[in-house]
Amino acid sequence: MAALIVNDVMTHPIETISMDDSVETIQNIFEQSHYHHLIVHGDQGRCVGVISDRDLLKNISPFIGKMGERTADRSLLNRRAHQIMTRQLVAVRSNTALRSAARVMLDHRISCLPVLDQQGCCTGIITLRDIVRWAVEEIEHPGESEARQAA
């Protein structure tokens, strides 16, 4: 039995944004997609940061679109991705053992890991949800993931 690796359960393709995309653009992507994390790319498509839906919530006013909205609240939407992204990347490669990736997430108290190639470009993302989804499928249908992996 081969060890399960990140590539077996990661999410791809992924949603990426540039460092200069606005918070309003980021908010629209989160509202229109099922994603909870966006990968921020820089020069040559290299991964330079991550923005979670929680990062977004910390950086927008709860008064936007409400009666109490002020100009200052609205101006927060003009901020850029590089101003709110997490820059201290913790990432893995696609051939990293799944248990190692899960341990990294637990140890760093993070909910996702960008999956990078040798050039630093993001090829996917592994999240706690991906790991839980795999675990539930494995509990419900033991061994089927190994059979799919071998095929």
Q: According to the model, what pLDDT value does residue 143 have?
A: 73
User: Can you read off the two tokens belonging to residue 139?
Assistant: 């509990």
Distance CA 140, CA 65 (A): 43
Q: Are 51 and 37 in contact (CB under 8 A)?
A: yes
pTM for this model (two decimals)? 0.83
Q: What's the residue count for the chain? A: 151
What is the residue whose two structure tokens read 């190692």?
A: 100
- Pick among 3.10.580.10, 3.40.50.720, 3.40.190.170, 3.40.50.300: CATH of 6-150: 3.10.580.10
Tens-digit pLDDT profile for residues 50-71: 999 999 988 876 667 666 666 6
Tens-digit pLDDT profile for residues 70-110: 666 667 778 899 999 999 999 999 999 999 999 999 999 99
Max Cα–Cα distance, the chain, nearest Å: 59
List the domain boundaries for the chain: 6-150
Q: Of 137 and 142, which is predicted with more confidence?
A: 137
Reported confidence tier of residue 1, pLDDT bands at 50, 70, 90:
very low
Residue 65 identity: G
